Structure 1
Amino acid sequence: MITTTFARWLPAVFGSGAVLLVWGLAGCAAPPAAPSKGELSFEQAVAQVTDGLVVQTQKQPAFIARMGAKRGVVLDPMIDAGSAQQTVATQLLQERVGERLGSKYDAIEILPFQSANLGKARYLLTGTMTRLSVSEARSPLRIDLALTELATGIVAAQSSAVARDDGLDHTPLPYDRDTPVPTKDLVIESYVRTTATPPGQRADPYYLERLAVAPVIKEATTHYNAERYEEALTRYSAAGATSNGEQLRVLNGIYLSSAKLGRTAEAELAFGKIVAYGIANRQLGVKFLFNPGGTAFWSDAKISSPYAMWLREIARASADARVCMDIVGHTSRTGSVAFNDTLSMQRARYIRQRLVGESTVLGERTTPSGKGFRENIIGSGTDDAVDALDRRVEFRIVGCG
């Protein structure tokens, strides 16, 4: 069964070990889990975690000595730590935190996340939302925030709170919904580590070294989400031309924007770079959508038409790189264990069959298996855009021989 929300989502363009994500559909959502003691409402958790940051900074001698001066804060967009996506819920978190900091604390000024403001602001604010258990629907969410002093790279304050998931909307924003490749690369992982870094310690250096290009990527993604694809392509291309611009979210953005503009040749070239990046970094993810309960790709050509090109590029690059891969199928948390184990194996075998059809040498370099829903990332069981990462086939690059 396809929900109304998912039905609206389907017409969009669909767009870690090495990972090829292949997407399917299953059945009905599980009932929400009952809240446990000690959890806060979302609004209460936002207030607690935000105030916790400010209390820590106010105890610092340097802050107290200059209480009359505004402390500029730039906010790098908040994400879901498990999926690396920006969602409606993470966007709401970001808005609520920014509003509370800007309205309640006179000493703090929220500045737009722009390149020029990186040199003006005192602090960098990062934030994540992490589901505490993916084995139950609507399990609690941990909110983590960190304030990093831009001049030193030292985390000045870090705060956490646990919120109930009372009806929060975890639908990905358009870029993350459309992207062909999940963006949880080393840059995103270092962002997540920074947000959990204790006060007094240095923020993750991999993230800090690439911070200068982050505002450009943010601008590009804002354009994409607003369907301004020409502007998005210009900004993604500008980000990609910088020394630290070779990131999955940039390569994805160039592909997506080119595809939306109907520039087929440019889109194919961009996708080839995505695959090459993934193989080089031993972390490759590509999303396909299956018909419900089967191994055939989604019937709507608006969605599945790029798949032949994707498979061709993956097969070509894998064969040229002479890599070996474990192909591991996954499903969402609906239906029986036996059914999902079988389905995940069938989809892994189907992808392997298609790749071997493109390059016969991959027959000796690939091995399929199925995990059912035992390795879910989201775990919501909603079978829509929210838990699409749970319906995947991973390509894990391994040693040959």
Structure 2
Amino acid sequence: MNIFRNFQGLLVLICCGLACSAAQAQTSPTAPPAAAPPPAPVAFDAALLKAANDLFSKANLESAPDKVTLVIDPLIDGVTGAQSSATHLEEKRVVELIKSNYPRFQVARFSSETVAKSPVVLIGTFTAINNAGVAGGARDAYRICLALADLKSKTIISKGVARALPEGIDPTPVAFFADSPIFAKDVSTDAYIKSCQGSKVGDTIDQAYADRILVASLVNDGIEAYDAGRYRDALDVYQSALKTPGGEQLRVLNGIYLANYRLRRTKPAMEAFGKLIDYGLKSDRLAVKFLFKPGSTQFNTDPSVRAPYSVWLEKIAERTAANKGCLEVVGHTSATGLAPINDRLSGLRADYIKDRLEDEDRSLRGRLIAAGKGSREMIVGTGRDDASDALDRRVEFKVVKCST
């Protein structure tokens, strides 16, 4: 009897084991599906045509009038926020496409008058990326993002995306952005980029973008005047924008400095530069475009790129001392050349700027530290080593806690 009971128990254990194994086999998680391969980049013209046709052909216009007023808030680089030769070409091609294929859209000038009528706004970003999504990988493609924002319904009503090959693309910033000395985190630009890249059809327009679109139209007037060499007009527009709610932003402050500098109004220009420094330091991070001779710690002396670096350094030292702050001075390079050499060169350039600041104001001694990051923190990352990626060869000032 005991043998029989033991045998029954053994059968139960065996059956339980088989059942458990079967159940585990049924409930075991299956391997996740393989990630879809990244879209293949195509030639710029074809990529832009695809994105734009998707944008306009799929736009939700159910409650819209027969003729839809469209304004273009100038397209920008998706990282730096700069307008470039490439983004201007995009706009030109898009307008041509609208006129030939989508006559329901009536393109109007991006101005405070048209914005007040709550039109549909076209926004877009053009961003250098690694097509396979490899962090730190070569930026071998450009991502095109286009979106239509309806200011009446306050929603995103259409989007179009594509990827372009880099051949034939000129990402050189237009004059205003190429000349701007300061790069810092900016709520207005971040809101624009988020409204395109971080949205889907049906989403509410980013509130920070909506709140600042009137200022954006004024900024556009100022940039157009500056790029055309009408510096007095540009200054008037920027000063007006500064007085508008949401007007204290990087493009406005850069514009006031640049216009004054071009008009040879030295004192107002330096006062404006001081406000730029304060603006950047409030965000704890400020990048200044100091251009050096290749492989050197000496400033570039080419008259076409020469800027008043000595005066900039004097103002940075003055504002830092006035704020009783401490800074980490960080040098950066593009990826050209060997990494160890870039690390050393960026460190030497940071040391040079640190020493110059301490010479300007002795109270900064002991409150500044220097570091070199080589090419590990590139912003643009295309490796062109020209005006298009000047920000990769920047010196940054980071607010740090004072040791005493």
Per-residue deviation, residues 298-342 of structure 1 (Å, max 9, x unmatched): 234675462121111111111221222222211111111111111
Give the aligned partner of residue 101 of structure 2.
Answer: 104
Flag the 1:339–1:173 CA change in 2: closer, same or farther, 3 A: same
8 Å contact 2:69–2:107 — kept in the other structure?
yes
Deviation at 1:135, TM superposition (A): 5.3
Distance 2:249 2:297 in 1: 31
Which segments of structure 1 move beyond 6 Å, counting only runs of 4 or more? none
Deviation at 1:369, TM superposition (A): 1.3
Distance 2:155 2:45 in 1: 28
Deviation at 1:111, TM superposition (A): 0.9
Give the aligned partner of residue 206 of structure 2.
Answer: 204
Q: Letter of the 2:158 partner, please give it.
A: A
1:122 to 116, 119, 123: 119
Give the aligned partner of residue 341 of structure 2.
Answer: 339
Distance 1:189 1:328 in 2: 23
Distance 1:301 1:322 in 2: 35
Q: Letter of the 1:192 partner, please give it.
A: I
What secondary structure sits across from 1:210 in the alignment?
helix
Q: Letter of the 1:179 partner, please give it.
A: S
8 Å contact 1:220–1:233 — kept in the other structure?
yes
Per-residue deviation, residues 78-121 of structure 1 (Å, max 9, x unmatched): 11112221110011111112221232112111111011111335
Give the aligned partner of residue 374 of structure 2.
Answer: 372
Q: Does 1:321 align with 2:323?
A: yes
Q: Calculate the TM-score normalised by the size of structure 1.
A: 0.85
What secondary structure sits across from 1:386 in the alignment?
helix
Aligned residues: 361
Per-residue deviation, residues 357-401 of structure 1 (Å, max 9, x unmatched): 122332322221111112222223222111111111211222334
Give the aligned partner of residue 155 of structure 1.
Answer: 156
Q: Which structure's CA Rg is the greater one?
A: 2
Give the aligned partner of residue 397 of structure 2.
Answer: 395
Give the aligned partner of residue 86 of structure 2.
Answer: 89
Q: Calculate the TM-score normalised by the size of structure 2.
A: 0.84
Q: Does 1:174 align with 2:170?
A: no
8 Å contact 2:118–2:152 — kept in the other structure?
no
Q: Letter of the 1:378 partner, please give it.
A: V
Per-residue deviation, residues 216-275 of structure 1 (Å, max 9, x unmatched): 111111011011111111111111122221111111111111111111111111111111
Distance 1:346 1:79 in 2: 33
Q: Does 1:355 align with 2:357?
A: yes
Flag the 1:248–1:37 CA change in 2: closer, same or farther, 3 A: closer
8 Å contact 2:54–2:160 — kept in the other structure?
yes
Q: Letter of the 2:141 partner, please give it.
A: P
2:232 to 230, 253, 256: 230
What secondary structure sits across from 1:291 in the alignment?
coil
Distance 1:303 1:164 in 2: 29
Q: Letter of the 1:241 partner, please give it.
A: K
What secondary structure sits across from 1:202 in the alignment?
coil
Deviation at 1:283, TM superposition (A): 3.5
What secondary structure sits across from 2:63 in the alignment?
helix
User: RMSD across aligned C-alpha pairs, in angstroms?
Assistant: 2.0
Unaligned segments of structure 1, at least 5 residues: 1-35
Q: Which has the higher contact order (CA 8 A, sep 6+)?
A: 1
Deviation at 1:296, TM superposition (A): 1.3
